[in-house]
Structure 1
Amino acid sequence: MSDRYLIIDNVNKIFHSKKTATHVLDSINLTVKRGEYISIIGHSGCGKSTLLNAVSGLTTATSGYVILDGKEVNAPGPDRALVFQNHSLLPWLSVYENVALAVNKVFGASKSAQERKDWILHNLDMVGMSHALTRLPAEISGGMKQRVGIARALAMQPKLLLLDEPFGALDALTRAHLQEEVMRIQADLNNTVLMITHDVDEAVLLSDRIVMMTNGPRATIGEVLEINLDRPRNRIELASDPLYNEYRRAVLRFLHEKQQKVAPLTPEASENKQSEADQRVSVG
């Protein structure tokens, strides 16, 4: 297993407008092993999606770089497959056709028509959607749509699977079923996964490590928590596991306490603060 399969080295991201510059990411450094499952968690606005977009190649870092399997990332590519919270299926294509679109684009020159068909069916069967090949997205549930999105991503055989809150819009029961599916698939295929989540339980259940982001602007990695729980994992058994619950507490402590960053006061603000303190003393 390569210890430096994915390298995020000193990545900064600044968004410029006509009047302002917003420093979203500040000195992000992370290395990921091949086959590792990493969750990124933090409050809204901390740059999680910006970081994922930099890894996917959808946005370019202002400084620093991303290296995947020895090659620098500077544009989108089939070696990285991204699954969004919104399923992003084309509504006029069937379940089969949505997956076929990706497979034909990636493997059109290297696989025969029959090989591509077999591969599409294999991936849809893997996520339990082989019964709905001819249905349109409007004819299936939200959980089914996400299954198709995951099948489409896996069918590209990416080096890195990127998940941007893939279960966030689903009801609790459907989310639990899909989490189980992802754990099973990841165990079978040994995918390298980078996932954004707001769900602490989901992060602990699925991950090998949890990357905790500080608040923005100038968000950075505050802590990285290694999850030493045996696989396969059973959510019912883990509910009463002391180590599982300690991991949950550690993430919650960070999110509610340690992630807060206090910006330095400007001279004017410092003077006003001192003036307010003097007034309180005078009143007392």
Structure 2
Amino acid sequence: MAKAYLSIEGIDKSFSRGPATTEVLKDISLTVDKGEFISIIGHSGCGKSTLLNIVAGLTPATSGAVLLEGQLVDEPGPDRAVVFQNHSLLPWLTVYENVALGVDKVFRRRKSAAERRDWTMFNLELVHMGHARDKRPSEISGGMKQRVGIARALAMEPKVLLLDEPFGALDALTRAHLQDQVMQIQATLENTVMMITHDVDEAVLLSDRIVMMTNGPSARIGEVLEVPLERPRRRLELVNDATYLACRAAVLKFLYERNRFVEAA
């Protein structure tokens, strides 16, 4: 039996403050295939971002393990790139310099200076930000900043792209445009993606599977939903699609009804 590309095995996570200990995550196990797009959805406080940070190597698990291609994940690394809701661009650097910083760090020994320049521009063009290469973050919109953040993450050629509510702070139209871009990029590059979201429609539109978390504390995986929609997906065509609507209804049902029973079990 082939090993999973990304394997989350029996993860528990507790935080302690003085004598008090809070269990945030309980027995989280999940396998992710190469090239798969997974969304994790649940109410605020259910530990979604904590789980993402454990996979990123930013937060240690209390028990359990994360394996990527069979290797233990216990610290940050360029094989896992994170895009946060807040773009986290360095304000004193240009758009180009923000992306080039990561490229130079990861590829200094593997690519020449000219190759690194070309690779930086390739990734900016991928998110349609090549025209703004010389602008600073204060000179571009929120949606453009997120595009640069995505370009910076992709430019590291990560094995897994981790998205922590990357569109949460954007207006609806900008959000829709970026969702479409992420779908196009994933279709082109066949990235493995794990995304945290509160948005049911976003999860159904983008994902191959949706992981639904029960309410915290001691949040668990309550249900995993397959999204059997063919790709490429076009949002306007899906508005009245029976499969899309069924998946959407299943997630809403879990979030607003079933998770109460899971908690009580």
Interval containing the TM-score (normalised by the shorter chain): over 0.9
Q: What is the one-letter code of the residue matched to 2:212?
A: M
8 Å CA contact 2:214–2:263 kept in 1: the answer is: no
Q: Deviations over 1:194-240 (max 9, x none)?
A: 00000000000000000000000000100000000000000000001
What displacement does 1:94 show?
0.3
Match for residue 200 of structure 1?
Answer: 200
Contact conserved, 2:211 with 2:223, CA < 8 A, in 1?
Answer: yes
Q: Residues of 2 paired with 1:75 and 1:98: CA distance?
A: 22
1:181 paired residue number: 181
8 Å Cα contact 1:3/1:31 also seen in 2: no
Structure 1 runs of 4+ aligned residues shifted over 2 Å read 261-264
AA of the residue aligned to 1:247: C
Counterparts of 2:160 and 2:234 in 1: how far apart (Å)?
25
Gaps of 5+ in 1: 265-284
Residue 113 of structure 2 aligns with which residue? 113
**1:175-208 Cα shifts (integer Å, max 9, x gaps):** 0000000000000000000000000000000000
Q: Is the 8 A contact 1:3 1:34 kept in 2?
A: no
Deviation at 1:110, TM superposition (A): 1.3
Residue in 2 that maps onto 1:20: 20
3-state SS, counterpart of residue 27 of structure 1: strand
Q: After TM superposition, give the deviation of residue 109 of structure 1 in Å.
A: 1.4
- Quick check: 1:80–1:161 contact (8 Å CA) kept in 2? yes
Cα drift, residue 263 of structure 1: 5.7
Q: Which amino acid aligns with 1:77?
A: G
Cα distance in 1 for partners of 2:58, 2:233 equals: 33
Task: Give the conservation status (yes or no) of the 8 Å contact 2:10–2:29.
Answer: yes
* Identity among equivalent pairs (%): 68
Residue matched to 2:236: 236
Determine if contact 1:167/1:178 at 8 Å carries over to the other structure. Answer: yes
In the superposition, the TM-score normalised over structure 2's length comes to 0.98
Give the conservation status (yes or no) of the 8 Å contact 1:3–1:32. no
Match of 1:171 in 2: 171
> In structure 2, what is the equivalent of residue 30 of structure 1?
30
- Write out aligned runs for 1:85-96 (5 A): 85-96=85-96
Root-mean-square deviation (CA, aligned residues, Å) is 1.0
Give the number of aligned pairs. Answer: 263
SS of equivalent to 2:255 = helix
1:133 is aligned to 133
Asked if the contact 2:163/2:196 (under 8 Å) is kept, the reply is yes
Shift of 1:19: 2.1
Change (3 A) 1:31 1:262: closer
State the TM-score, normalized to the length of structure 1: 0.91
What does residue range 1-284 of structure 1 map to in structure 2 within 5 Å?
4-260=4-260, 261-262=262-263
**Residue type matched to 1:68 in 2?**
L
Q: Name the SS of the counterpart of 2:203 in structure 1.
A: helix
Q: Equivalents in 2 of 1:233, 1:78: separation in Å?
A: 29
- CA distance in 1 between counterparts of 2:237 and 2:109 reads 47
Give the 3 Å change call, closer, same or farther, for CA 47–193 of structure 1 in structure 2.
Answer: same
Equivalent-residue separation in structure 2 for 1:99 and 1:234 (angstroms): 29
Separation (CA, whole Å) in 1 of partners of 2:86 and 2:258: 31
Could you tell me whether the CA contact under 8 Å between 2:3 and 2:70 is conserved in 1? no
2:47–2:216 contact (8 Å) kept in structure 1: yes
Give 1:262 shift.
Answer: 4.4
3-state SS of 1:259 partner: helix
Alpha-carbon distance in structure 2 between the residues aligned to 1:110 and 1:31: 31
CA deviation profile, 1:30-72 (whole Å, cap 9, x unmatched): 0000000000000000000000000000011100000001100
SS at match of 2:11: strand
| Contact 1:3–1:33, Cα closer than 8 Å, also in 2 | no
Partners in 2 of 1:18 and 1:114 — Cα distance? 53
